Amino acid sequence: MTDGNDIVKPIIGLEIHVELATETKMFCRCRNNFGDPPNTNVCPVCIGMLGALPVMNALAVELAMRVGMALGCEVPDFTKWDRKSYYYPDLPKGYQISQYDLPLSINGHLEVSLSDGTTKDVRILRAHLEEDAGKNVHDNPAHTGVDLNRAGVPLLEIVSQPDMNSAEEAVAYGQAMQRLVRWLGASHANMQMGHMRFEPNINLHITREDQTFKTPIIEVKNLNSFRSLENAIQFEIERQYEQWRGDNSYTMENFPKQNRGYNDATGQTVFQRGKEEAHDYRYFPDPDLVPVVVDDEWRKRISRSIGELPLARRKRYIDHHEMTFKEADALTMDAATGDLLDAAIADGADARRCVNLLLGRGAALANERQCTIAQTGITAKQLAQLAKMLANKEINATAAARIFDMLVDSDSSAKDLAETEGLLAVTDSNAIETWVEEAIGANAQAVEEIRSGGKKAKKAYGFLMGQVMQKSGGAAQPGRVKELLDAKLGRE
Amino acid sequence: MSSIVELSAVELATAIAAGELSATEALEAYLEAIEKLEPQVDAYNEVLADHARATAADIDTARTAGRPLGPLAGVPLAVKDNLCTVYGKTTCSSKILADFRAPYTATAVEKLLDAGAVVIGKTNLDEFAMGSSTENSATKVTHNPWDTSRVPGGSSGGSAACVSARLAAAALGSDTGGSIRQPAAFCGVVGFKPTYGRVSRYGLVAYGSSLDQIGPITVDVSDAALLTNVIAGHDRRDSTSADRPAENYLAEVEKPVENLRIGIPDEFFTDALDPSIGEAIANAADMYKDAGAQIVDVSLPHSRIDTDAEGNLSSYAVACYYIVAMSEASSNLARYDGVHYGHRTNQDVDGIVDLFSLSRAEGFGPEVIRRIMLGTYTLSSGYYDAYYNKALKVRRLIKNDFDRAFEKCDVLLCPTSPTTAFEIGEKSDDPLTMYLADIYTISVNLAGLPGISIPARLDAGGMPVGMQLIGPAFSESIILRAARTYEKISGVTRLVPNMARN
């Protein structure tokens, strides 16, 4: 892709807008909910009606601070609200209430895991709260509709330093942020619902023959999926390099920062007419809102509410419970699943068995139901008992799987279900012997193949085992079955 | 003309509660007065006769049924047309809101209604409360009941004229730089601006958010106390409303302030002041002194008024006020963009920017446009520090001046306005001259303090002269009591213009 000895280093910063998971909007009591009919979650305040006044949503501030502190940011003593002015149909007041020079979090960082196993620490410049704008809807050729349901929803804007150097790193950072905000209960971060939006800032440092050229910084507006984030960045890197190759004057010194949009259908970024100049937002402190003064008591309280963070827990699982990276990672996608695991272990269950159950049937059900493993409904107590029964060979693995599937929708204990469903392991030699004899009797060919010891022997053996297990309703203790089967077949 | 309209709000409320007078009778008396005098005064944008009658009937039914009545039951009031009401329209005397009907009622008005008041109608104002004469109204010009060739003052000119001509027992106005006090002075009535945050701003169409306050315009001080009782108090819908309970100002109003110390600010008495007004204030100070008060000289250095060689006036306080007010106003009026409510242009538009510009150009009057443009400039990049930010710093100095003055006195006494009511059209050509008319009132808004204007006396020409009492934050009780004292020692109260006499 690059000419000769050109060294192209992409410099990428990412702004992420996260919609917070509050019940109500940032400055009024309208419902914060995606997908409702247009203009049904509105009131004089978020419509920007004359005489209406904003009232700060304290939970939103708490959640924002929680995210800030989890990112290692400093939460200053004093933070305030500013008005950011511009005209647009989806911005009913003609200004957005945001934070300008004194945001509620500054100077943090996020550790990001990359696919090659390395990690990258991305510095975070600031995180601030603001209200979201409504939506312009263009589904009617005769007019544009304005839906204000989203106007006023709390938005946390997290701004990174330009520490990333590839689309992959940016996506990994975005995913790490998604995981973190979900972990903290600050946002559902559901991409389809527009809970997270990305705006990467990209330019290139191109070194050719000991000279370094810097292309102009381009901000790509409003990307709402990881795929579009990756594609837009990749496209932009290539586009900037091509443009610079064709015209070496295409540099930061000669061109100001520009905005571009992204076309999902073509996978290309596009120049946005009319957005070339930097907008003067005329920021000033909002006289309708009082500033927020933060003391150490408050900071301590927020800090305590954060608990163990995902990466720390992942490390703990690898170090203390000997999980693989993949296993630990899967179990630390959300806080509740790990909490569930930890509680079961604290209850005396064996970690490995719990992990297998959670990542086996647990993950399968979660996938089916489009929820987290914890959200499938199994409790720590149920899980612990199930794991212990397995350890005591009271049930076999097949039975355990079936019981797990039942436990998620039931309040019963593992023990009760095993009994009522007849899944307690059958170790009674007499019973097993009967089944073995029946299986042998009914499958002469398989027996022949086993005895002859040829290529089909192994498969036939497995088949016979399966027949016995089937007769037992899955409850027979496999170890015992094997012993008796071998004995009957004359194998030692 | 009925003698009912000569009663104060307190007297009306008492009479109605006692069954001596029905709410319907009271209302009809005022509606009759409106029919007779409103063509000369033009105080009302909208008279809500049917709605008022229905309310009065409800009050009467409640009374005869023995149900408890609020402290303002049956009292006919007027409300400035920049306070949202679900009844009638809320136009702010602007074309951009000519047909606007609010879906909710302002907290202060709701409180009046809960107290049993009967809202007769919405009164005229300078468009979006921007002005000092009500001449900036896009609806009509209101006339001073004392001399109809003169302005009633502004921006609450309609409310002041209304009360003055006895077309309502009392009214609500709003005050950003003197808009309650100055028209009260021009119309010979009482106008009270409480401490910033004392009354909820929810439902008041914002002009200068850090300056705006709602307050009563009444025929005497006791009425002002009664109305303040009703409208004051914390409102969780207004983040800037003070979290302190309202007091019972009416219960205290008759008690004189013991050892009252009255401060006279040096800087306010300059050549710019009409001599007859200066004399009236001096006279008032003497009367207070005779009644046992102590008169003290104080200084408000940053509120001083300078005159240059050409006779042009300037004042830090006026400059500071206009920068702050216009900056905030430019932002507060951005919502009138023709998209969600209010006037939208009917002309063909070429894109959304056209829609915004044309709707606003058509809907806003020249003074409003002027202030939006100035306010946009003072907030813009490269100018913010020199103007807005600097004004905020000057504002702090102005407030500090007042804090220091109040170490030496309980209230300040000074003029409300440098002149009495001027003629319609006299000042409307030169906005700057008009701005300087606010010289005595704007510092009070900048410092967030309470201030009242009461009639001092009539001048030689028979026009009312107002005087102002200013107090520390949340000193409403002291101010009202000191004002009541003046009514008693001077006998100046309940002035009635000729047109309203029987």
With beta carbons less than 8 A apart as the criterion, state whether B202 and B233 touch. no
pLDDT at A321 over 60: yes
Chain A hits for B380, Cβ within 8 Å: 280, 282
Chain B hits for A280, Cβ within 8 Å: 380-381
Token output for B275: 């001599």
- With an 8 Å Cβ cutoff, is A152 touching chain B? no
Collapse the DSSP code of B415 into the 3-class scheme (helix H, G, I; strand E, B; otherwise coil) and give the result: strand
Helix (H) or strand (E) holding B118: strand B118-123
Which pairing describes strands A258-263 and A82-85: parallel, antiparallel, or unpaired?
unpaired
Backbone phi and psi for residue A271, each to the nearest 5 degrees, phi listed first: -65, 135
Whether A282 sits inside 8 A of B203 (CB atoms) is no
Helix (H) or strand (E) holding B430: none
Query: Is B155 one of the annotated active-site residues of the chain?
Result: yes
pLDDT in tens, A416-448: 998 888 888 777 778 888 888 888 888 888 888
- Least Cα separation, residue B204 to chain A (angstroms): 5
Query: Is B331 one of the annotated active-site residues of the chain?
Result: no
pLDDT at A492 over 50: no
Number of inter-chain CB pairs under 8 A, A vs B:
100
How far apart, in whole angstroms, are the C-alpha atoms of residue B262 and residue B292? 11
Give the 3-state secondary structure percentages of chain B, helix then strand then coil, rounded to 5: 40, 15, 45
Smallest CA–CA distance from A292 into chain B, residue: B239
Whether A290 sits inside 8 A of B239 (CB atoms) is yes
Question: What is the radius of gyration, based on Cα positions, of chain B?
Answer: 21
Q: Which of A56, A87, A88 sits opposite B239 (nearest CB)?
A: A56
Q: Which of A52, A95, A148 sits opposite B331 (nearest CB)?
A: A95
B183 vs A454: which has the higher pLDDT: B183
How far apart, in whole angstroms, are the C-alpha atoms of residue B108 and residue B237? 12
State the residue for tokens 């004995």: A487
User: How would you class A166 by CB atoms within 10 Å of its CB: exposed for 0-12, middle for 13-18, buried for 19 or more?
Assistant: middle
Collapse the DSSP code of A173 into the 3-class scheme (helix H, G, I; strand E, B; otherwise coil) and give the result: helix
Strands (E), A209-322: 211-214, 218-220, 258-263, 268-271, 284-285, 292-293
Collapse the DSSP code of B443 into the 3-class scheme (helix H, G, I; strand E, B; otherwise coil) and give the result: helix
Q: Distances in Å between the alpha carbon of B496 and those of A239, B5, B38, B126, B165?
A: 80, 11, 16, 24, 7
State the residue for tokens 């890197």: A237
Helix (H) or strand (E) holding A437: helix A429-442
Whether A83 sits inside 8 A of B209 (CB atoms) is no
Q: Which of A253-267, B211-225, B397-411 has the lowest mean pLDDT?
A: A253-267
Collapse the DSSP code of A332 into the 3-class scheme (helix H, G, I; strand E, B; otherwise coil) and give the result: coil
CATH number of A429-489: 1.10.10
pLDDT in tens, A333-361: 889 999 999 999 999 999 999 999 999 99
State the residue for tokens 């049904």: A40
Query: Is B299 one of the annotated active-site residues of the chain?
Result: no
Token output for B143: 């006339």
Q: What is the secondary structure of A10-67 as a DSSP string?
A: EEEEEEEEEE---SB-SSS-SB--TTPPTT-S--HHHHT-TT------HHHHHHHHHH
Q: What is the secondary structure of B124-139 as a DSSP string?
A: --SGGG--SSSTT-SS
Per-residue pLDDT band at B1 (split at 50, 70, 90): very low
Collapse the DSSP code of B19 into the 3-class scheme (helix H, G, I; strand E, B; otherwise coil) and give the result: coil
Q: B-side interface with A, Cβ within 8 Å?
A: 83-84, 90, 92, 97, 100, 102-104, 106, 201-206, 208-210, 236-240, 327-328, 331, 334-335, 337, 339-341, 352-353, 356, 376, 379-381, 384, 388
pLDDT in tens, B147-168: 999 999 999 999 999 999 999 9
pLDDT at A53 over 70: yes
Chain B hits for A89, Cβ within 8 Å: 337, 339, 352
Q: What is the residue-averaged pLDDT of chain A?
A: 92
Could you tell me the fold of the domain covering B3-261+449-500? Amidase signature (AS) enzymes (3.90.1300)
- Least Cα separation, residue A27 to chain B (angstroms): 10
Domain with CATH 1.10.10 in chain A: 429-489
- Relative orientation angle of helices A167-183 and A310-321, to the nearest 10 degrees: 90
Whether A51 sits inside 8 A of B102 (CB atoms) is yes
How far apart, in whole angstroms, are the C-alpha atoms of residue B265 and residue B243? 31
What is the pLDDT at residue A477? 80
CB-CB neighbours of A257 under 10 Å = 13
How far apart, in whole angstroms, are the C-alpha atoms of residue A467 and residue B348? 82
Calculate the dihedral angle through the C-alpha atoms of B5, B8, B14, B20, rounding to the nearest 10 degrees.
-20
Q: Work out the percent of chain B whose per-residue pLDDT is above 90.
A: 89
What is the pLDDT at residue B10? 98
With beta carbons less than 8 A apart as the criterion, state whether A472 and A431 touch. yes
- Least Cα separation, residue A54 to chain B (angstroms): 7
Give the residue from B452, B451, B457, B462 showing the smallest Cα distance to B497. B462
How far apart, in whole angstroms, are the C-alpha atoms of residue B473 and residue A226? 55
Q: Which whole number is the average pLDDT over A381-410?
A: 91
Give me the helices (H) in B23-133, please.
Answer: 23-41, 49-64, 107-114
How far apart, in whole angstroms, are the C-alpha atoms of residue A223 and residue A275? 17
pLDDT in tens, B86-144: 999 999 999 999 999 999 999 999 999 999 999 999 999 999 999 999 999 999 999 99
How far apart, in whole angstroms, are the C-alpha atoms of residue B207 and residue B326? 8
Q: How much is the ipTM here?
A: 0.95
- The reported pTM is 0.90
pLDDT in tens, B421-439: 999 999 867 776 677 778 8
Whether B335 sits inside 8 A of A87 (CB atoms) is no
Strands (E), A167-298: 196-208, 211-214, 218-220, 258-263, 268-271, 284-285, 292-293
Collapse the DSSP code of A446 into the 3-class scheme (helix H, G, I; strand E, B; otherwise coil) and give the result: helix
A141 vs B82: which has the higher pLDDT: B82
A224's CB contacts (< 8 A; 6+ apart) are A191, A194, A196, A197, A198
Whether B381 sits inside 8 A of A52 (CB atoms) is no
* Side-chain half-sphere CA neighbours of B360 within 13 A: 21
Q: Which of B201, B339, B384 sits opposite A89 (nearest CB)?
A: B339
Collapse the DSSP code of B355 into the 3-class scheme (helix H, G, I; strand E, B; otherwise coil) and give the result: helix
What is the pLDDT at residue A491? 64
